[in-house]
């Protein structure tokens, strides 16, 4: 009887130990972070910071929280290097994500459900909670091998990237706290690749929000005359559409990538006199005296912003046609000395060579460096003259950022940890001059 009790006790201990191990794996920790709802309009930043801080402290890493705007915390995790005089490294990710529509998902977007084939469904799985945890998991592996960095390594977990970074990186980049870090090189988010090569980005496109307004004399709906508000606005839209076609034709002909041209897309049109009795909701026999349209414009760093402004002024919204315009530039196009916001991807940039070799050493292959078609927080750092590469190691993966049913395969996630292990080891061991 005593022997049976002992065997039963051992079985319980072994089973409890196995369950404990299963509950503390890189995949489980990733799922735990994904379950924190940081989607706009009410991202739970406090829970995200708390979780990331606990993970960092379990690795004996230093943590600091900055709050440049109340309710918008920015977490900085630091692994001190043996030579603090060398410029440091910074790996960035954002805590927030875009909203999700649960009714249009196969699995609830904040359950982090893992299917039998290893796909983890969650908002933020690709954009970009994966790299946030991969950084920490790579450090976990390096510490288990008693690795010590020569250069200090920082991890930044920032708010509000999805809404423009105005309360996150824009303020952090201007702060004395950031400048005290002496950052020499930074890595930020990238995108998935449909093939077996990892994509890497050396620049972003900069978004402009353009609003064009036209005014004119109102008139009876039956009359035809020149200079009406809607007429002038429609002519403007036609001119802009022709420009859009010239840019898109370059892409369709294979002469340029989507991210290398200026994109112009109409996003709203507002005009007309509201009516509660009309079937259309508008007065149909009056030509309105005001009309307005909004456009999303994306400029690659190679574009000349002064020439674009001139085109808007002379062709798209000319004052002699009773038109006005407003441009909201959501980020810089040039750095502090007037250079385009591009990070070199050749031997003139020692960080590029080290990064490329580190990816190769981990068994990966890089695709041709690209300009990101959208925009990230990297633009605020490149403006300071600091080189930044956008990179998310997700090969053979559909691009699902901001889409329904966003997911990342567990094996792809685990491969990314090994890639970052090689990258962090190589970059933090670099002894050369990188000022």
Annotated binding site: 94, 127, 162, 189, 402
d(CA 244, CA 192) in angstroms, rounded, equals 27
Element (H, E) at 157: strand 153-158
Catalytic residue among 161, 188, 260, 406: 161
Among 181, 185, 207, 188, which Cα is nearest to 263's? 207
Contact at 8 Å (CB) between 204 and 341? Answer: yes
Alpha helices, DSSP H, located in 23-128: 26-34, 45-58
315 has catalytic annotation: no
Check 96, 137, 370, 410 and give the catalytic one.
96
**Residue 161 is a catalytic residue:** yes
DSSP 287: E
Closest to 401 in 3D by CA, of 96, 97, 32:
97
Closest CA to 200 of 423, 431, 428: 423
**CA 193 to CA 394: how far, in whole Å?**
6
Cα distances (Å, whole numbers) of residue 33 to 38, 53, 57, 123, 393:
10, 12, 15, 11, 18
Q: Report the alpha-carbon distance of residue 257 to residue 19 in Å, rounded.
A: 49
Beta-strand pair 113-114/119-121: antiparallel
Q: Please, are residues 386 and 335 in contact by the beta-carbon 8 Å criterion?
A: no
Take residue 119 and report the two structure tokens written for it: 């796909």
- Within 10 angstroms of residue 339's Cβ, the number of other Cβ atoms is 12
Active site residues: 96, 161
């Amino acid at each position: 009887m005593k022997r049976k009790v002992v065997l039963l006790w051992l079985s319980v201990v072994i089973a409890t130990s196995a369950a404990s191990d299963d509950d503390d794996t890189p995949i489980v920790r990733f799922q735990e972070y994904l379950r924190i709802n940081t989607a706009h309009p009410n991202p739970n930043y406090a829970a995200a910071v708390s979780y990331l801080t606990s993970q960092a402290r379990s690795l004996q890493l230093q943590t600091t929280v900055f709050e440049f705007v109340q309710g918008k915390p920015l977490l900085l995790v630091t692994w001190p290097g043996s030579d603090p005089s060398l410029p440091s490294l910074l790996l960035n990710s954002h805590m927030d994500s875009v909203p999700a529509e649960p009714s249009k998902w196969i699995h609830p977007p904040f359950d982090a459900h893992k299917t039998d084939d290893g796909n983890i469904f969650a908002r933020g799985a690709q954009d970009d909670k994966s790299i946030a945890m991969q950084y920490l998991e790579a450090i976990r592996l390096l510490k288990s091998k008693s690795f010590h960095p020569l250069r200090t390594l920082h991890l930044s977990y920032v708010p509000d990237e999805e809404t423009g970074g105005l309360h996150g990186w824009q303020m952090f980049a201007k702060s004395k706290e950031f400048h005290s870090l002496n950052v020499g090189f930074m890595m930020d988010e990238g995108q998935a690749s449909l093939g077996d090569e990892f994509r890497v980005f050396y620049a972003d496109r900069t978004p402009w929000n353009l609003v064009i307004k036209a005014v004119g004399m109102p008139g009876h709906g039956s009359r035809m005359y020149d200079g009406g508000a809607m007429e002038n606005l429609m002519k403007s839209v036609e001119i802009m559409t022709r420009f859009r076609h010239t840019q898109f034709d370059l892409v369709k002909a294979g002469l340029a990538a989507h991210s290398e041209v200026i994109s112009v897309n109409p996003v709203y049109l507002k005009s007309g006199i509201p009516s509660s009795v009309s079937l259309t909701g508008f007065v149909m026999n009056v030509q309105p005296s005001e009309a307005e349209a909004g456009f999303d414009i994306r400029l690659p760093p190679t574009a000349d912003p002064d020439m674009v402004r001139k085109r808007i002024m002379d062709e798209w919204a000319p004052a002699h046609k009773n038109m006005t315009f407003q441009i909201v530039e959501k980020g810089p196009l040039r750095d502090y000395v007037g250079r385009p916001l591009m990070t070199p991807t050749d031997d003139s940039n020692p960080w590029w060579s080290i990064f490329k070799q580190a990816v190769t050493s981990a068994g990966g292959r890089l695709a041709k460096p690209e300009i990101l078609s959208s925009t990230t927080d990297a633009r605020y750092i490149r403006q300071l003259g600091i080189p930044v590469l956008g990179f998310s190691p997700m090969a053979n993966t559909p691009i699902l950022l901001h889409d329904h049913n966003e997911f990342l395969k567990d094996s792809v996630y685990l491969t990314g940890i090994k890639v970052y292990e090689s990258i962090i080891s190589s970059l933090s061991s670099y002894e050369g001059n990188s000022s």
